[in-house]
Amino acid sequence: MLVDILSIFDAIQAMDYLIIALGIVIGYIVGFLPGLGASQAMALLIPLTYGMEPLRAILLLMAVAGAAPCGGSVASILINTPGESTNVATCWDGYPLARQGKAGLALGAASTASLGGALVGLFVLMVLLPLGRMLVLSFSYPELFTIALGGLVCIILIEEDQLWKGFISLALGMVMVSIGYDPVTGSIRHTFGTMYLWEGIKLVPALVGIFAISEGLKLVIGDKGQAVVKDQSVSKARYSDVFQGVMAVFKHRWLFFQSSVLGAVIGVAPGVGGSVGNLLSYGVATQTCKDNPHFGKGDIRGVIASESANNSKGGDLVPTVIFGIPGSVTCALLLGALLLHGIQPGPRLILEKPLIIYGLIVAIFFSSIAASTITILAAPYLSSIPDIPDNLLGISVIILGVLGGYATELDFNDAIVAIVFGLLGYFITEFHFSKVAVVMALVLGKIMQVNYFLTMDTMGPKGFFTRPIPLIIIALSVFLVMKAAYQAKYPPEEKPSGLPGSMA
């Protein structure tokens, strides 16, 4: 298949390379800006591609999609604001590293992991295309429910010392998910008579608020929000720091490979996408890595795990090109662009329009390389952003957050949601509850809700225990909960005699 892909270079003209370059610039910028992202940029660009050749339009759109996650990682690390929903987990360790004067380390690791994840995802795409039908059909309602459940279990177990706060935060997020129309019955719930809430709480304004605006408030009020205050003498990244970040990905190569493959495989599940893979890979990393208490406090492994998965887009494209079922929001927009240009996704697409498939691969390949290179080369300059005085930086972040919430759909109500979640995020942090658990519930709660009821209606309870993937995930989740409960009751230094790991 590699030989077939190389044939696309015969079809690409000089203008096409300029189009790819334009898409890279647009994607990187909108990825960095709070509230914006690849999906918003693609939605605006699709009408402009109407007069283009189909291949050229696909190259532009996928260049935007490929570069945006790397731009989003920069915002996540430097100002604790996920430029894209796929960069949420990058904030949790990337920003503490930046506050500790290790922005160069985090940026180097993020850009390298993002590039490597994209390459792994493309390889997975090429491998799965012939097997795509069988793989996509293996994901049904029980699989989607248990994947979301496993992600929530991994996340709430990060704070082993305060499990009860993790559960309360998770419950708060699940209550928020119940706002709006019931996707199963269609009934309206907890909208307080406001039509705006019929659609539920919109994810992007909520994420912008809970991360960007809450962090801006901390900076303005004077609370650094971190146990370790940044060292001004080392805050500006050097290329040696960036190189250490690049090498950290190779040092933790198994974690990188695990997260990249997980992100690609999760993307195969229709409608799940990179934001879920980003969170799940981080959660799995916290449970599989040794010395995991450092996660969330500035652990480079957290950056590697999240960034390896969020740009592993190959999996997202499998259900999109094989069945016409979008694997993510960006893939849904890609599907619309294909239909606009008279191209019908489906099993015959690879036979009738192979250049379109190869164009997807080439655009993501070039955009990922270019975006990662930009981050590495510009890291010493980008890392100066946190050196802006806290009050000025905090006010700027708050303004950008409010504007980012509004810019999502140009709806003033979205800006209000961003402000409300900003205040909520600030108080959650002040009282040491878990923003991570709240965000995970917002992202995964709807998936769990819908697929639970659909499983019960179509298969009954046996659907969770007669299919291999749900059974394995449930067993692992039960094991992790029991392990955490045991460790909470018997810390390592207090284990009773005769139990595993105790001193006789």
User: Residue 22's pLDDT is what?
Assistant: 92
pTM exceeds cut of 0.75 = no
The amino acid at 146: T
Which pLDDT belongs to residue 24? Answer: 92
Range 240-243, long-range pairs (CB < 8 A, 24+ positions): 240/104, 241/102, 241/103, 241/104, 241/105, 241/108, 241/379, 242/104, 242/105, 242/107, 242/108, 242/376, 242/379, 242/380, 243/108
For residue 280, give every residue at least 6 positions away whose Cβ sits within 8 Å of its Cβ, in sequence order, or none: 147, 150, 151, 154, 262, 266, 309
C-beta of residue 70 within 8 angstroms of C-beta of residue 24: no
3-state helix, strand, coil split of the chain in percent (to 5) is 75, 0, 25
**CA-CA distance, 320 to 343, in Å (whole number)?**
12
Strands 180-181 and 188-189, bridge-based pairing = antiparallel
Q: What is the DSSP letter of 188?
A: E
User: Which residues is 181 bridged to in the sheet?
Assistant: 188
- Provide the greatest CA pair distance for the chain: 77
Name the phi and psi angles at 149, rounded to 5.
-60, -45
What's the confidence (pLDDT) of residue 75? 85
Task: Tell me if 343 sits within 8 A of 353, measured CB to CB.
Answer: yes
Q: How far apart are CA 311 and CA 319, in angstroms?
A: 17
75-98: b or e for each residue (b if 16 or more CB lie within 10 Å)?
bbbbbbbbbbbbbbbbbbbbbbbb
Q: How far from each other are the two terminal CA atoms of the chain, in whole angstroms?
A: 60
User: What pLDDT, on a 0 to 100 scale, did the predictor assign at position 224?
Assistant: 45
d(CA 221, CA 465): 51
Report whether 96 contacts 297 (CB < 8 A). yes
Q: CB within 8 A of 80, min separation 6: which ones? A: 91, 95, 211, 212, 215
pLDDT reported for residue 225: 41
Residues 6+ apart with CB under 8 A from 501: 492, 495
pLDDT tens for each residue of the chain, 504 residues long? 554 555 566 667 778 889 999 999 998 888 887 656 777 788 778 778 877 888 888 889 889 988 888 888 888 888 877 766 677 778 888 888 888 888 889 999 999 998 888 888 888 777 776 665 566 566 678 887 887 787 777 666 665 556 677 788 888 888 888 888 777 777 787 777 788 887 788 877 887 788 778 877 877 886 444 433 444 444 566 888 889 999 999 999 899 988 888 887 777 665 555 566 777 788 788 777 777 667 777 889 989 988 888 776 666 777 677 666 666 667 767 777 887 788 877 656 766 777 888 888 888 888 889 999 999 998 888 877 766 676 777 787 788 778 877 776 778 888 888 888 889 888 887 887 877 778 777 877 777 888 888 888 888 888 888 888 888 888 888 887 777 677 666 655 544 444 334 333
Alpha helices in 52-102 (DSSP H): 54-79, 88-99
Tokens standing for residue 115 = 């590039």
Which among 83, 145, 142, 144 has a CA at the least distance from the CA of 114? 83
Q: Phi and psi (nearest 5°) for 497? A: -60, 140
DSSP code of residue 280: H
User: In this structure, what are the phi and psi dihedrals at residue 189, rounded to the nearest 5 degrees?
Assistant: -130, 135
Cα separation, 295 vs 293, whole angstroms: 5
DSSP 418-472: HHHHHHHHHHHHHTT--HHHHHHHHHHHHHHHHHHHHHHHHT-GGGGTSSHHHHH
